[in-house]
Structure 1
Amino acid sequence: MVTHWIRFRTAAGMEGFGTLADAAVTPFEGDMFGTATPAGPALPLGDVTLLAPVRPRHFIGLWNNFHELAAKQGNAIPETPLWFLKAPGSIIGPGEAIRPPAGYAGKTLYEGELGLVIGQRIANAEENEAAAAIFGLTCVNDVTALDILTADPSFPQWARAKSPDSFGPIGPCIATGLDWRELRVQVALNGRIRQDYPCADMILPPARIVALISREVTLQPGDVIACGTSVGALPMRPGMEVSVSIPGIGSLVNSFSP
């Protein structure tokens, strides 16, 4: 059974979390990643604002993790995750605007990705433990300031290029009960599909990603790992609407508003 977990804000400014089904939000109390119980009557989806479904301690992204893109770019196939950190403060939710840093006029890329949400503390794990530690899946737009990344030929600035405020859209929910192998990531700009690739093309699958990263970084409930992107990541133009969609999870829609 697939369950969609969300975070939300009411018109009165109260924030909470719960599940979404049939355009109705069931509020919960407790801990999304621990003991959570229903609390109060259901709310119409139209009466709340969806927030980023998680506020992670670690927000990790992968590079070169899809066979098709590696073949196109001539990259070697990695045996371990090639990962970087995005600042947790970069995270925004559905409907919020992506805004480049003040004074930056270079290329800003969208990168639609499958996100793994960790549900329990995990360190130095084997793959079976890592698989059990994945709470659910979400959509991620790993926005990148390309001209910052490549500005200094002696030092690629991964964290700086990927961590500006608003460069980490996540959502609209965390879906549990899905098989990642059956999913596809689609990204549309103003309704025109620009990325469309299968998650099954991953070089390192989710359980292996989590296991290997956990041997270097202790992962905590709510941490997010973006599994990397495939072909079709391009710059956005001002005023564009970018939508990252994964069937079973939903569509993460944000505008690009320099």
Structure 2
Amino acid sequence: MRIARFSIDGNVGFGVVEGDELDVIKGHPFAAFERSGQKVPLDKIRLLPPTLPNKIVAIGRNYAEHAAELGNEVPDAPVTFFKPSTSVVGPGDPIAYPSFSQEVHHEAELAVVIGRMCREVPRERVKDVILGYTCANDITARDVQRREQQWTRAKGFDSSCPLGPWIETELDPRDLTIQCTVNGEQRQLGRTSEMIRPIEDLIVHITEAMTLLPGDVVLTGTPAGVGPLNVGDEVAVTIEGIGTLTNKVIKRG
């Protein structure tokens, strides 16, 4: 099932995407819901970020080739960092190039959307706390990341976390193609099977320390091929079984 968050005529809601239509649901996807039977063509609505997370917990260096391309060793434990909720934008929304950076990179990632409040999740129960999966782009000010010990500004600036286009709830995430194109040219191509630590291990690791809430997002790392973005570029993240998330880079006003 593909669940989208949308806006039409100033009203915001959730719906189930089927083909070129969206079936509006009563309520929200983080609890039991019913379909309303009210169907709207996708070209008549604006797709929004599929979730408004309380927090985004991201994992760095979870693909060996990506760690190597930036001159880093594979870490002994998952590298975790936060992106704030204010970094989230949706499909078609602009990525505003930050004024404090001259080297902004794309990072295509599979995002996990949490479906229920959870902490200290045992490995065998991880599937029970996941609502589904979506595409993400962990936009990074690489020059800032290199010179500042903490990654807060480099990874957390406004519009640095595009998510979308929707949440796919029926998906086996273990071996999916992930690719990123810039202006139609392929930059990244990898598979989720190349992750150093699978999703189960990441959720266990994170929830040992903190509670995850419905709608929270876990970014699972990016494959090799990250590279620069410039004002005017159109960047697209495509994940097998989910779809494509497209955003354009603009100058920050």
**Structure 2 length as normaliser, TM-score?**
0.95
Conserved 8 A contact 2:62-2:197: yes
CA deviations over 1:103-161 (Å, ceiling 9, x no partner): 33411111000000111111111111222211111100000111222234xxx231111
Three-state SS of the structure 2 residue aligned to 1:104 is coil
What amino acid is the match of 2:180?
V
User: Is residue 114 of structure 1 aligned with residue 110 of structure 2?
Assistant: yes
Alignment partner for residue 94 of structure 1, among 88, 91, 99? Answer: 91
> 1:112, 1:140 within 8 Å by CA — same for their partners in 2?
yes
Amino acid in structure 1 at the alignment position of 2:152: A
Alignment partner for residue 237 of structure 1, among 205, 230, 233? 230
Taking only aligned residues, the RMSD between alpha carbons, in angstroms, comes to 1.4
- Give the whole-Å Cα distance in 1 for the aligned partners of 2:12 and 2:203: 30
1:130 matched residue in structure 2? 126
Structure 2 residue identity aligned to 1:21 = E
> How many residue pairs align between the two structures?
251
For normalisation by structure 1, the TM-score amounts to 0.93
1:40 CA drift (Å): 4.2
Tell me the percent identity: 36
Decide which of 43, 52, 57 is 1:46's aligned counterpart: 43
- The worse-fitting range, judged by mean Cα deviation, of 72-81 and 164-173 is 72-81
Q: Note if 1:248 corresponds to 2:246.
A: no
Q: How far is 1:213 from its partner?
A: 0.3
1:69 positional shift: 2.5
User: Per the alignment, in what secondary structure is the counterpart of residue 6 of structure 2?
Assistant: strand
* SS across alignment from 2:97: coil
Q: Distance in 2 between matches of 1:20 and 1:34?
A: 18
Q: For residues 57 and 79 of structure 1, what CA distance do their matches in structure 2 show?
A: 28
- How has the CA–CA distance of structure 1 residues 106 and 71 changed in structure 2, closer, same or farther, with 3 Å as cutoff? closer
Paired residue secondary structure (2:238):
strand
Change (3 A) 1:128 1:255: same
Equivalent runs, 1:164-179 vs 2, <5 Å = 164-179=157-172
Contact 1:118 1:136 in 2 (8 A): yes
* Unaligned runs of at least 5 residues, structure 1: none
3-state SS in 2 of match to 1:185: strand
